Amino acid sequence: MSRAEEIYRDFLTPSAEVERRIALFQSLLREQGFDGALVCHPVDIFYFSGTAQNGYLWIPSEESPVLWVQRSLERARRESPLREIRPYPGLQALGKRVAGKKGARVGLEMDVLPTKEFLQLQKQLAQTDLEDATALIRRVRQTKSPFELGFMRKAAALHAEVFAEIPRMIRESRTELDLSARIEFALRCREHQGLLRLRRWNQDLYYGPVVSGTSACSPTPFDGPVGALGLYPALPQGAGRKELELGEPILVDVVFGYNGYFVDKTRTFALGSLSDEWIEAHRLCQKIQDETVRRLKPGRPCNEVYAEVVAAFEDTSPFWPHFMGCNDNKVHFLGHGVGLELDEWPVLAPGFKEPLRPGMTIAIEPKLFPPGKGGIGLENVYLVTNQGTEKITDFPDDLVIVE
């Protein structure tokens, strides 16, 4: 075995971890009256099996799961601790195994399952009731184990190393794209996995925005507060051709992915200096972050945390109308879950009533975008614990002025 293969094996998911996840999910299936769930989404297959191969994972509510692999069966058997890993028998044979009793309730990930695939499954599982089990999967995944937190902490440490180098990169860069390319190189050199994953349909993200001045106020289709002109209409996000200028904020909002697990962090940099107005705006973002973190306690409903923080700051500053987006680019949340995907549960937002629980990891990202001026703010990932919160992301929250 080569040294590279030995290191690769260190990242495999242990049997006890997979068994714990499946047991939690099965308890929710039984609680909600499901006979089982057919998992198709690659991120969910990886979470419950430890391998990211293409196929279907059948998780019955009572019995042991079965992973049917289209490709690669060999790799799935090397990576997954599941006992039953079989070659994919075709949809008809799979349907017979899953169908069970007439009227059985089978859960699917209807938030991400393509319509064509759903219709094929519906045909083969005509005697069963196909229902959405997405919420049950996301509920299990939103609470991280010590095993998962180990990867997130490693990602955070490597992320901090890159952020410490950004002031030098700014001095050497002429445009947003120059700066973004240097950051991306540093990320990859520290084993950033490259691919970012979001669950929401029709949402893509490349490393994260690196934008300066008025660029941050550009409208985008992405469901986040930071705007960006980007390079092309085909991908209206991320760093563009705008030159870095003295006295304007530079928002660096990039993600680090390590063995599937993400941390999300934003810091504001500037060349030369920033005006008192911008410094005041950044202080407000820090206060909003601190007030939000203070309320991250187990049992607190997410929507109540959001409402209380908004009530505490609403109309207290001339910057408030520009909170979390510029003009039509506003978003209505204070923070989002992170893990194997960048838009996990929980969400600190008006309609999300899920209570906070120990083990949840949330990116808090207060940002301000005065129209025609730019954007400023920060973002950190916090772990909810019984004792309070733990800040997972490292690097000081302060503005960084590059001389």
pTM for this entry: 0.96
Based on the fold, state whether residues 231 and 319 are members of the same structural domain: yes
> 159: closest CA among 195, 186, 182?
186
- Asked whether residue 354 carries a pLDDT value surpassing 90, the answer given is yes
β-strand 261-271 against 105-108: which pairing, if any? unpaired
Strand order in the sheet with 129-132: 85-87, 66-71, 54-60, 36-39, 105-108, 129-132
The CATH number for 129's domain is 3.40.350.10
pLDDT of residue 101: 67
What does the pLDDT average to over 214-222?
Answer: 92
- Identity of the residue numbered 198: L
Band the pLDDT of 206: cuts 50, 70, 90. confident
Based on the fold, state whether residues 119 and 155 are members of the same structural domain: no
> 268: closest CA among 257, 256, 278, 258?
278
Band the pLDDT of 204: cuts 50, 70, 90. confident
Half-sphere exposure of 95 (CA within 13 A, CB side): 18
Query: Any idea what DSSP says for residue 340?
Result: S
pLDDT of residue 160: 98
Band the pLDDT of 214: cuts 50, 70, 90. very high
What does the pLDDT average to over 153-160?
Answer: 98
- Asked whether residue 1 carries a pLDDT value surpassing 80, the answer given is no
The span from the CA of 225 to the CA of 323, in Å, is: 9
Residue with the bigger pLDDT between 203 and 160: it is: 160
Band the pLDDT of 202: cuts 50, 70, 90. confident
Contacts of 224 (CB under 8 A, 6+ apart): 331
What does the pLDDT average to over 182-194?
Answer: 98
> 305: closest CA among 260, 362, 225?
362
Tokens, residue 274: 């920033």
Residue 13 pairs with which residues in a beta bridge? none
Which uninterrupted H or E stretch holds 106? strand 105-108
φ and ψ of 318, to 5 deg: -65, -15
- Could you report the per-residue pLDDT of 16-71, keeping only the tens digit for each? 999 999 999 999 999 999 999 999 999 999 999 999 999 999 999 999 999 999 99
- Could you report the per-residue pLDDT of 356-401, keeping only the tens digit for each? 999 999 999 999 999 999 999 999 999 999 998 999 998 999 999 9
Angle, helix 42-49 to helix 15-31, in steps of 10 degrees: 110
The span from the CA of 362 to the CA of 347, in Å, is: 8
What is the longest distance spanned by two Cα atoms in the chain? 72
The span from the CA of 337 to the CA of 383, in Å, is: 10
- Could you report the per-residue pLDDT of 93-146, keeping only the tens digit for each? 888 888 766 778 999 999 999 999 999 999 998 889 999 999 999 999 999 999
Based on the fold, state whether residues 28 and 162 are members of the same structural domain: no
- Could you report the per-residue pLDDT of 60-69, keeping only the tens digit for each? 999 999 999 9
- Asked whether residue 228 carries a pLDDT value surpassing 90, the answer given is yes
pLDDT of residue 94: 81
- How many structural domains comprise the chain? 2
DSSP letter for each residue of 40-79: --HHHHHHHHS---EEEEEEESSS--EEEEEE-HHHHHHH
Last residue of a domain, one of 116, 141, 166: 141
The span from the CA of 210 to the CA of 238, in Å, is: 6
* Whole-number percent of the chain with pLDDT over 90: 90
DSSP letter for each residue of 167-209: HHHHHH-SBHHHHHHHHHHHHHHTT--S-----STT---SS--
Based on the fold, state whether residues 66 and 171 are members of the same structural domain: no
Q: Which domain holds residue 37?
A: 3-141
pLDDT of residue 90: 87
The span from the CA of 198 to the CA of 134, in Å, is: 14
Based on the fold, state whether residues 224 and 239 are members of the same structural domain: yes
Based on the fold, state whether residues 130 and 196 are members of the same structural domain: no
Last residue of a domain, one of 118, 141, 164: 141
The CATH number for 330's domain is 3.90.230.10
List the end-to-end C-alpha distance of the chain, in Å, as a whole number.
Answer: 50
